[in-house]
Amino acid sequence: MNHNCPYCAAKLSMRLVRSKPLPNETRFLPMRAHMVCPNCSGALELNLHPMEEKFHKNALWLVLPGIAGMFLENIWLLLLSAILMTVAAGYVSCFIWKNLRSWLRYKQFEVLKTRKRPTHYVRATPRHFGVFPKRGTHRRT
């Protein structure tokens, strides 16, 4: 894989890529953050190949026999799980090494457009929930 920065083309393969919180987020445990290039401070995002995404989604099926083997105390299920995970890891490593040499690992960060929150809220009173009748519709005794 090509681990170069899309902004400055610096090699990031053996470097620590830190994350930075998005604007209007707290520095301590932000809900949303993005990676930052150590050279140019450009905002980065992981660029997963579709094959990698499929593997990540289906990796649970490789782990399930191992979990079942632990709970059922069955050594054969544990061995089957270990063999399946080893074969899958080898296949994915070989696929990445052969076919994804030019695939960019990082892409430029795109800010997701979030919907705007309303600036005013309607105050909910019991009348909105049908508890009290509207004014002028009830009988006075």
- pLDDT, tens digit (0-9, with 9 covering 90-100), for 50-90: 888 888 788 878 788 888 888 888 888 888 888 888 888 88
pLDDT of residue 136: 61
pLDDT of residue 113: 55
pLDDT of residue 138: 56
Q: Pick out the chain residues at pLDDT < 70.
A: 112-141
State the Cα–Cα distance between residues 62 and 88, nearest whole angstrom: 8
- Largest separation between any pair of C-alpha atoms in the chain: 88
Name the burial class of residue 134, with classes exposed (0-12), middle (13-18) and buried (19+) by CB atoms within 10 angstroms of its CB.
exposed
Q: How many CB atoms lie within 10 A of CB 33?
A: 14
pLDDT of residue 137: 60
pLDDT of residue 88: 85
pLDDT of residue 141: 54
Q: What are phi and psi of 79, to 5 degrees?
A: -65, -40
Predicted structure pTM score:
0.57
